[in-house]
Amino acid sequence: DAKTTQPNSMESNEEEPVHLPCNHSTISGTDYIHWYRQLPSQGPEYVIHGLTSNVNNRMASLAIAEDRKSSTLILHRATLRDAAVYYCILGGWSGAGSYQLTFGKGTKLSVIP
Amino acid sequence: KAGVTQTPRYLIKTRGQQVTLSCSPISGHRSVSWYQQTPGQGLQFLFEYFSETQRNKGNFPGRFSGRQFSNSRSEMNVSTLELGDSALYLCASSLAGQSYEQYFGPGTRLTVT
């Protein structure tokens, strides 16, 4: 399975932008890049996903390198509610039409008031 | 729209026993995936069901099994419990063909003593 590498932890000041990096040098051409986050005592929550082009949604932006070997999740203005573990995940189609997410260790983001 | 629900939320079992966990997906979602989350191994994929058929299975022993009913509700069963099975078991549902975005339940915390 293709793997991702993320920093174990990061800190950010409240109301400042946050850039969470992810390396995925073994990504295949059909793998999508996903970001999920997990708040304490909750299940993971979808944040954003993309294939080749940069993506924006109401929660965040995803910047994908041209060679697709790395990506960055951008939170434009961190709030205390954004403190969570952020997972960078490669998703791909397995046999029989199944789509599988392979989670890594994630980055624990702390937001400082 | 109600989210993914999992029952029970907490469970304590003894080694050697078996356990059944239940997951009710979001209405209209036909794909259900199960994950095991432990501090040491992180989130690991167990299996995925779609239209009552298992489409994909992770690298877990045969003691872990599951099924899906015609209303898309899913159950997973673990037989002959071991101490190492203590974990948070998460299920996630998604729309058919849109497994890029999976919605996770709060999980069932299983403790094996």
> What confidence tens digit (pLDDT) does each residue in A25-80 have?
989 888 899 999 999 889 999 999 999 999 999 999 999 999 999 999 999 999 99
| Residue A59: burial class (beta carbons within 10 Å; 0-12, 13-18, 19+) | middle
Least confident of A44-48, B33-37, B96-100: B96-100
What are B42-69's pLDDT values in tens digits?
Answer: 999 999 999 999 988 999 999 999 999 9
For B74-83, what is the mean pLDDT?
98
Helix (H, G, I), strand (E, B) or coil at B83: helix
Report d(CA B75, CA A2) in Å as an integer: 29
Please list every residue in chain B whose beta carbon sits closer than 8 Å to the beta carbon of residue A49.
100-101
Say if residue A1's pLDDT is above 70: no
- pLDDT class for A2, splitting at 50, 70, 90? low
Helix (H, G, I), strand (E, B) or coil at A35: strand
Please list every residue in chain A whose beta carbon sits closer than 8 Å to the beta carbon of residue B56.
94-96, 98, 100
Is the preceding peptide bond at B106 cis, omega within 30 degrees of 0? no
Nearest CA in chain B to A98: B55
Q: What pLDDT, on a 0 to 100 scale, did the predictor assign at position A28?
A: 87
